[in-house]
Homo-oligomer: A and B are copies of this chain.
Amino acid sequence: MSVERDRLVELRREFHRHPEPAWREFWTTARIVSEIRRIGVDELYVGPDALADDRLAVPDAEELESWMDRAREAGGDPDVLDSLSGGWTGAVAVLNRGEGPTVGLRVDIDGLPRAESTDKDHDPVREGFRSETGAMHACGHDAHATIGLGVLESVRDSDFSGTFKVFFQPAEEVIGGGKPMSESMHLDDVGYLFALHVGLGYPTGEIVAGIDDFLAVTQFYTSFEGYPGHAGARPDEGRNAVQAMATAVSNLYGIERHSDGESRVNAGRVGGGTATNIIPEEAFIHGEVRGETTEIRDYTFRRAEQVFEGAATSHDCSADVTIEGEAPSAESDAELVDIVQRAAESNPDVERATGRGSIGGSEDATFLMRRVQQNGGLATYACIGTDHPGGHHTATFDVDEDSLKPGVDVLTDSIVAVSETEP
């Protein structure tokens, strides 16, 4: 017997009111933990126990502390919060149900650092669950956390035989959490992994059993360092970091396309300098490169490094490149795609059960998928269609709550089906 629709809606709205950006999911993790305890599991790993050391793109201590304070004020369990100190967010819940395969479900839980719409027609405004934190669940990870908990409870109540693990992964939006979670030992015995996303342009009532074309991605932060000089009196004393950065931006987008497939570059956020009358001493590019394959991504990033070095040299500056996040490309396995598609076809709430689909973006679930596949297991990344008025990452994004329960049910049925196919 599965969980109720109303319960899922209520939970999702709670998460929606408390969006927290990457590595700051303090309240969110505490709330997830309290719900896991209510459900009852055999093992529970929180924060540093759920992650390997290799976290990427962790904010500075002051920023973390400010969100931790907010989480405390919002009523997060103090003991759990203490265990998350330093931005060690996320959790792994384990059900040991006797003989059978080890099956994993991965959901991500972070929000985005952007303001939510105040439009009266925006459902969270009308229904009173708009964000209270300044951040926003603009990509549906509130629904993902909810579905993760829903499936955990449903599998608990099912005939599932084997071991079931739910990975509540932090920091997907900065592609920083997938790597350390994939390297924690919890994934090592997983033979079947399900990951999921809501929306992506697919409407409520449609389930896509396997997404395929994840672009490999590397996010970087390049800082240029020069030397200041008075722009009027002594411009020749300056070494201009903004000129270096601007040259790098122009050449970055000009990296030759690769003949093996799609590539992408973006200088998504840049800045530099201090005052109009000072030759700028410092500048930065916070950006990314992507590739249809990991090799194309690597080619593009290698060329980007040359661009940074050359632009710095041109202006007598130095450039320093830090990798902030990364994810490989990945493919869904046919056996699991079939299982999800059959589960979707037999679900009365699903109008359309699609086999394969495409998103053209990146995701660090690919780290977990690759890990399982390299260990000889199978993985798929399913999409739970949902009508969303605004696009992903925009101020008016929202999830159709009617899609929550079909999502929970199809995934639960798939997980149970896996346990039945393996003796």
Contacts and interface: CB of A to CB of B under 8 A. Distances in A.
A263 interface: yes
One complex includes copies of this chain to the number of 4
A280 interface: yes
A269 B272 CA distance: 6
B236 A257 contact: yes
Interface string A324-358: 10000000000000000000000000000000000
A304 to B, nearest CB: 10
B231 A268 contact: yes
Q: Name the prevailing secondary structure of the A interface residues.
A: mixed
A250 B250 CA distance: 6
Contact of A232 (B215, B236, B299): B215
A376 to B, nearest CB: 29
A114 interface: yes
**Interface size range on A against B:** 35 or more
Interface in A257-306: 257-264, 266-280, 283, 286-288, 290, 299, 303, 306
Interface in A239-263: 240, 242-243, 245-263
B235 A315 contact: no
Contact of A234 (B238, B313, B360): B360
A71 interface: no
B247 A276 contact: no
B236 A361 contact: no
Interface string A69-111: 0000000000000000000000000000000000000000000
B274 A256 contact: no
Contacts of A311: 310, 314
A316 interface: yes
B361 A251 contact: no
A362 to B, nearest CB: 5
A236 B256 contact: yes
B271 A272 contact: yes
Nearest to A274: B269
Contact of A242 (B236, B270, B283): B270
A264 to B, nearest CB: 6
A392 B230 CA distance: 9
Nearest to A57: B276
A61 interface: no
Given A233-B361, A235-B259, A306 B310 contact: no
Interface string A165-188: 000000000000000000000000
A256 B253 contact: yes
A14 interface: no
A212 to B, nearest CB: 14
A88 to B, nearest CB: 23
A39 interface: no
A372 interface: no
A236 B275 CA distance: 27
A111 to B, nearest CB: 13
Given A246-B246, A256-B279, A286-B276, A262 B262 contact: yes
19 contacts: A113-B275, A230-B391, A231-B266, A232-B362, A234-B360, A235-B259, A235-B264, A238-B256, A242-B268, A243-B251, A246-B247, A246-B249, A247-B250, A257-B262, A268-B274, A268-B276, A268-B278, A310-B313, A310-B314
Given A257-B263, A269-B276, 4 more contacts: A248-B314, A256-B279, A268-B279, A309-B313
What 5 pairs between A and B have smallest CB-CB spacing? A310-B314, A310-B313, A253-B254, A246-B249, A231-B266
Interface of A: 112-114, 215, 217, 219, 229-238, 240, 242-243, 245-264, 266-280, 283, 286-288, 290, 299, 303, 306-307, 309-316, 324, 359-362, 391-393
